[in-house]
């Protein structure tokens, strides 16, 4: 299929890498013109050269609100309006426990992952109203739903994104502006290497390894790729989602279905562990066979 975003203009934050970049590529393929907002200038000019007249780079640190506003306003300047905002820029949080709370690190994470989402929507709305409506999509995370996937500050910010999305939807519905979130699972991008402070080559190698091998972590048995999230963003951006607002789409290969033992029969689960049973013995118990 093509042209599902024909004539539309989108701003994508964090468009230089991973989920944002895959979404940019898909949106362009589907006929949109895109403002790529990111801190990575070199990738930004690469994207402009690759898609002349279709992609414009806006150098923008989303924690610096005047820069974020300028990036969003630039959609109207360059492409005559705005229909879609994908608030997606992000990186890992600060990996400290409850007792080691660091106020500056906390504020930085909230500014990057949550405040930028609220501010971005506020800057986009006047443009979307002029078009008679539009779609805002925010990137959350499975860490918003359960513990164990990311640091506390990151997880709380991503949970805030989900609730912001719900509450903002009520405010924006009368203007025909839809706002939804995507909850990605474990997706092969640079975020892991960057969060660990690795260099560019190691970060890429890590993302490649995740893309190749991480199917084992997901019930669906396939690695999560940036394109998987881009497809969800395309759906939420397009008219196919015209009746969807204030909700989230979990795109995680089943990661949050339940504990590993619910889908991986080689895992004894909590009961098996508590009883000291092997996976085989546990399976026998489940099947009401004698436990050897």
Ligand X SMILES: NC(=O)c1ccc[n+]([C@@H]2O[C@H](COP(=O)([O-])OP(=O)(O)OC[C@H]3O[C@@H](n4cnc5c(N)ncnc54)[C@H](O)[C@@H]3O)[C@@H](O)[C@H]2O)c1
Q: Which residues bind ligand X (CB under 6 A)?
A: 13-14, 16-20, 38-40, 60-63, 88-91, 112, 139, 141, 184, 186-187, 189-191, 194
Whichever of 191 and 282 has its CB closer to ligand X, that residue is: 191
Q: Residue 139: beta bridge partners?
A: 182
- Whichever of 20 and 272 has its CB closer to ligand X, that residue is 20
Write down the least CB distance from residue 169 to ligand X, Å.
Answer: 19
Residue linked to tokens 């049973």: 277
Q: How far is the CB of 37 from ligand X (least distance, A)?
A: 6
Choose between 254 and 279: whose C-beta lies nearer to ligand X. 254
Q: Measured from the CB atom, is 16 or 75 closer to ligand X? A: 16
Q: Exposed, middle or buried, 226 (CB in 10 Å: 0-12/13-18/19+)?
A: buried
Catalytic residues: 154
Is the CB of 39 or the CB of 173 nearer to ligand X? 39
CB of 289 to ligand X, least distance (A): 39
d(CA 105, CA 177): 33
């Amino acid at each position: 299929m093509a042209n599902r975003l024909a004539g539309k203009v989108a701003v994508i934050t964090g468009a230089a890498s991973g989920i944002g970049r895959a979404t940019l590529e898909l949106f362009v393929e589907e006929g949109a013109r895109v403002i790529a907002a990111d801190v990575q200038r070199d990738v930004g000019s690469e994207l402009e050269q690759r898609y002349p007249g279709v992609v414009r780079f806006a150098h923008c640190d989303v924690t610096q609100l005047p820069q974020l506003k300028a990036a969003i306003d630039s959609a109207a300047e360059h492409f005559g309006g705005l229909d879609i905002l994908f608030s997606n820029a992000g990186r890992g949080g600060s990996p400290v426990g409850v007792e080691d709370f660091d106020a500056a690190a906390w504020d930085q994470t909230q500014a990057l992952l949550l405040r930028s989402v609220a501010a971005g929507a506020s800057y986009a709305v006047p443009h979307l109203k002029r078009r008679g409506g539009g779609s805002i999509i925010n990137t959350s995370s499975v860490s918003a739903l359960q513990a164990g996937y990311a640091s506390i500050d990151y997880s709380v910010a991503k949970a805030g994104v989900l609730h912001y999305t719900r509450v903002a939807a009520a405010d924006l519905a009368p203007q025909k502006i839809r706002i939804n979130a995507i909850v990605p699972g474990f997706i092969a991008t640079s975020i892991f290497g960057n969060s660990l402070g690795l260099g560019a080559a190691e970060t890429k190698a890590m993302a490649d390894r995740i893309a190749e091998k991480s199917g084992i972590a997901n019930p669906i048995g396939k690695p999560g790729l940036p394109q998987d999230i881009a497809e969800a963003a395309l759906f939420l951006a397009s008219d196919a989602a015209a009746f969807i607002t204030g909700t989230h789409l979990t795109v995680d290969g089943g990661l949050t279905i339940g504990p590993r033992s619910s889908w991986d029969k080689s895992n004894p689960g909590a009961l098996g562990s508590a009883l000291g049973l092997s996976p085989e013995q546990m399976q026998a118990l489940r099947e009401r066979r004698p436990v050897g």
